[in-house]
Structure 1
Amino acid sequence: MAKVMRHLTGFSAAYLLLTAFPLAAETLIVTLFSGDVPPYIMKVNGKRQGITIDLFTLLAKYTPHEYVLREAPVVRAMHEFDLGRIDIEPGVTPAWRKHRPVPGIYSIVYEEATDVIVFKEKNRFELNDVSDLYGKTIGVVRGYSYPGYDQAFASGKIKKVENSIEEHLLKQLALDRIEQIFLGYRTVLYFKKQGGLFQNLAIGDVVGRNSISLRLHPSKAHLLPGINAALKKMLDSGEIQAIFDKYQ
């Protein structure tokens, strides 16, 4: 009995030692690129809202950390991440950042994002192969990559016109300044729902698919298991899907 009691006492001491020092909460800086990227980031009545804001509000419920959302232009945000002044970049796939000085480390995938070709109905056609776009002009968001088409863009077989703002690109399309664009499916749905110029735009074939994760600075690698566990709970519970559904 004494031997058992000694074992239990040792176990209790170890348990108390572990529970007395929980994993420390940290304040993490999360980058939001300046400007609106609906439905992920937008300003409505002066207040920031969207998928990304809701995602981190939810993540804060499942982890002990505080997430401070900080806006910055894309180039500055990339530089700040490399310097370790930004801890998390949301909405990224590793291929987009593999050439950065600090590629970062990645969470589990929380979204499968789809890019589509968009037209006015009168200009719509079926896209079966890259060559179907030879000699045409495509509007894209500046800095976005489409691996299946990048070689044709670089060679000039397809002309690329860039705009830094999704809404402006859609306006160019709606006003017949360009005949087709590449854009994220969720973004197109969001703007079509607003009506007006965008209501009758036609969504065509898929031009890219990306597995989306959170990109963490390597200095925060110790936090990745806890963040991954939280994301998995949010996925399994359907809470992340509910956020997506809210904005489409």
Structure 2
Amino acid sequence: MAKAMRYLAAFSAGCLLFTALPLAAETLIVTLFSGEVPPYSMKINGKRQGITIDLFTLLAKYTPHNYVLHEAPVARAMHEFDLGRIDIEPGVTPAWRQHRPVPGIYSIVYEEAVDVIVFKEKNRFELNEVSDLYGKTVGIVRGYSYPGYNQAFASGKIKKVENSIEENLLKQLALDRIEQIFMGYRTVLYFKKQGGAFKDLAIGDVVGRNSISLRLHPSKAYLLPGINAALKKMLDSGEIQAIFDKYK
């Protein structure tokens, strides 16, 4: 009996030691939407740069994993995530993916993202209610979701025009092909600072405010505690804020 108890104690200690060991390094595929999505992802002098790239470069310092950025159009990236070919999608809030076949699991929040309505100054108006847009046309980026407005889009009360690239959507606005668009505040500011036709675009009211996380495929759920711990360190140290500040 005593011998059996010693064996059981040794076995339990071994199990505890095994579970305490750090997880082995893995290569994780991270989706990066094709095209220019500044300041999150854009090509400068032929090199892909931006907030998302810097975020995963930093995350690699705090975790053992290798993050491989995989470019794909939005629709294809969504499909590949569902199939388990994409491990992580950055820059997501659960409401945007709740209707996907594989909703995914989410990290802690690392960003508060704001979406705004944008006009040319001559077309500006106050947006207080969803009904203020009834009968109007709004441009959005294909694949992007605005939960407060989705029902009005689906019913046709607000007509939706989609473009796959933020810059092209802004060009449509600047050329009077659309009178208003929805877009991320950081992205609009980035383009306005580039000058040219975008400089005088008017930023209107907030149309969405979202808590942003990393979306992991459920097959990688066991990696979430380590990734969360790394994100918390990056937040507490101010390193994530420094990335955002870099692209103001």
- Which TM-score applies when normalising by structure 1? 0.90
Matched residue, 2:3: none
How far apart are 1:160 and its partner, in Å? 1.4
User: In 1, distance between residues paired with 2:229 and 2:147?
Assistant: 31
Letter in structure 1 aligned against 2:46: G
Instruction: State the Cα deviation string for residues 63-82 of structure 1 (Å, max 9, x = none).
Output: 11111111122222222222
Q: Secondary structure of the residue that 2:99 maps to in structure 1?
A: coil
- Assess, with a 3 A threshold, how the Cα gap between structure 1 residues 150 and 28 changes in structure 2: closer, same or farther: same
Matches within 5 A, 1:73-92: 73-92=73-92
Matched residue, 1:230: 230
How far apart are 1:18 and its partner, in Å? 6.3
Q: Secondary structure of the residue that 1:240 maps to in structure 2?
A: helix
How far apart are 1:144 and its partner, in Å? 1.4
Matched residue, 2:48: 48
User: In 1, distance between residues paired with 2:19 and 2:139?
Assistant: 55
Matched residue, 1:192: 192
Does 2:154 correspond to 1:154? yes
Q: Which runs of 4+ in 1 moved over 4 A?
A: 17-21
RMSD: 1.8
User: In 1, distance between residues paired with 2:245 and 2:33?
Assistant: 23
- Assess, with a 3 A threshold, how the Cα gap between structure 1 residues 134 and 79 changes in structure 2: closer, same or farther: closer
Instruction: State the Cα deviation string for residues 84-111 of structure 1 (Å, max 9, x = none).
Output: 2211111111112122222111100111
Letter in structure 1 aligned against 2:117: I
Letter in structure 2 aligned against 1:31: T
User: In 1, distance between residues paired with 2:213 and 2:106?
Assistant: 6
User: In 1, distance between residues paired with 2:122 and 2:214?
Assistant: 39
Structure 2, unaligned stretches of length 5 or more?
A: 1-9
Letter in structure 1 aligned against 2:29: I
User: In 2, distance between residues paired with 1:31 and 1:25?
Assistant: 19
Matches within 5 A, 1:171-210: 171-210=171-210
How far apart are 1:155 and its partner, in Å? 2.1
Aligned residues: 235
Matches within 5 A, 1:107-186: 107-186=107-186
How far apart are 1:21 and its partner, in Å? 4.9
User: In 2, distance between residues paired with 1:201 and 1:34?
Assistant: 25
User: In 2, distance between residues paired with 1:79 and 1:138?
Assistant: 26
Q: Secondary structure of the residue that 2:32 maps to in structure 1?
A: strand
Structure 1, unaligned stretches of length 5 or more?
A: 1-9
Q: Secondary structure of the residue that 2:229 maps to in structure 1?
A: helix
User: In 2, distance between residues paired with 1:136 and 1:86?
Assistant: 37
Matches within 5 A, 1:207-226: 207-226=207-226
- Which TM-score applies when normalising by structure 2? 0.90
How far apart are 1:126 and its partner, in Å? 1.1
User: In 2, distance between residues paired with 1:105 and 1:18?
Assistant: 25
User: In 2, distance between residues paired with 1:90 and 1:100?
Assistant: 16
Greater Cα offset, 34-43 or 153-162: 153-162
User: In 2, distance between residues paired with 1:35 and 1:232?
Assistant: 30
2:95–2:147 Cα contact (<8 Å) kept: no
Does 2:63 correspond to 1:69? no
- Assess, with a 3 A threshold, how the Cα gap between structure 1 residues 156 and 80 changes in structure 2: closer, same or farther: closer
User: In 2, distance between residues paired with 1:175 and 1:221?
Assistant: 46
User: In 1, distance between residues paired with 2:118 and 2:83?
Assistant: 38
Greater Cα offset, 191-200 or 80-89: 80-89
Greater Cα offset, 236-245 or 150-159: 150-159
How far apart are 1:118 and its partner, in Å? 0.5
Q: Secondary structure of the residue that 1:135 maps to in structure 2?
A: coil
